[in-house]
Amino acid sequence: MSGISNMVRDYGVNPAIVRIYTGDDLTVITTTGYFLGTQSANLQAINAGPWEWAYDANGNITDLCLIFYATDQIGFFTYDVSTDAFVALADNGNLSNTLPSGDIFVGNASNIATGVAMSGDATISNAGALTIAAGAVTGTKIASHTVDYANIALDVAATATVALTAAQVNGMYATPVQLLAAPGSGKLILIDSILWDIAYGTTQYAAGGAIAAQYGNSVHGAGPAASGTLAAATLNAVAASSFLSNAGSAGLLDVASSAALNTAVYLSNASAAFTTGDSTVNLYIKYRVVTPA
């Protein structure tokens, strides 16, 4: 028989013990709305009127409930007015074996483990499935060049920001600058676009040669192209803060798989080093990581 069939308070002890017999199981008696909600008719019949809890001067319920519940289980509980349900007391030194659906235990401000719903950048279901909120993973939360692609198997769109000093621009002919780390075994980085956000200094760049992203760290821009080129003359003509761009790899990719799979992408230029320029650059890179069949 389901529901509460017997309920009586033992007086003369502190706290008073309320003895309850119910045919419902642990899940039911700890579900919101159980006591006054679903059991109101039973309580009226048992007590010839509404049940009244004992309270202290601060308005806290002082009764301790000893419940015999299905199937042949017994344990101590408290009653939670806010949820209208029973809450199992933990064994000494242990957490309670009851927790609201989908909640997790978190230490509160008083260092007490308390059931709360996960919120913010992620939520969790009562099956343990974690869902990251849309837009929660932003560039500011990922350190440059540190994304671990080891378990990424699908075509994944991503962005990266790389800051270049004037010394790096002038030196990338002989010292290519890493844009993206190696993506992992069997994976390939495809560049969709590179936007140059140039903060002009006082002196234009000069000399140099065609600039492109490339697979690997080959000097003098000699690595297999991973993007379209940006002409040296275009960069050298910049005399105020400006935007420039490299096209992506679409329509130009021509690289041996051994030279591109699990290979970092670098920026370099052909012909000669740039000279004299002192502008700084932020590169905004749109790219994908793919796993060719």
Residue 148 pLDDT: 57
105-114 mean pLDDT: 78
Confidence of residue 52 (pLDDT cuts 50, 70, 90): confident
Nearest CA to 67 out of 48, 85, 81 is that of: 85
194-251 pLDDT per residue, tens? 999 999 999 999 999 999 999 999 999 999 999 999 999 999 999 999 999 999 999 9
Q: Can you say how many angstroms the Cα of residue 196 is from the centroid of all Cα atoms in its chain?
A: 29
Shared domain check, 282 and 179: yes
Q: Domain total for the chain?
A: 2
58-79 mean pLDDT: 91
Is the model's pLDDT at 156 over the cut of 70? no
Residue 109 located in a structural domain? no
Starting at the edge strand that comes first in sequence, how are the strands of the sheet with 177-180 ordered? 177-180, 265-269, 211-215
Shared domain check, 286 and 196: yes
Residue 28 pLDDT: 92
Nearest CA to 246 out of 274, 260, 226, 275 is that of: 226
Task: Say what the pTM is.
Answer: 0.52
Higher pLDDT, 56 or 293: 56
Residue 145 pLDDT: 55
- Domain carrying residue 209: 140-290
Residue 105 located in a structural domain? no
Is the model's pLDDT at 152 over the cut of 50? no
162-204 pLDDT per residue, tens? 999 999 999 999 999 999 999 999 999 999 999 999 999 999 9
From 40, 72, 98, the end of a domain falls on 98
| Residue 32 CB neighbour total at 10 angstroms | 13
Residue 100 pLDDT: 80
Q: With DSSP H G I counted as helix, E B as strand and the rest as coil, what are the percentages for the chain, rounded to 5?
A: 15, 40, 50
Give the highest mean pLDDT range of 51-55, 56-60, 279-283, 288-292.
Answer: 279-283
Shared domain check, 266 and 176: yes
- How open is the CA angle 88-94-96, to the nearest 5 degrees? 20
Shared domain check, 92 and 144: no
Nearest CA to 147 out of 282, 292, 287, 255 is that of: 287
Shared domain check, 260 and 165: yes
Confidence of residue 2 (pLDDT cuts 50, 70, 90): confident
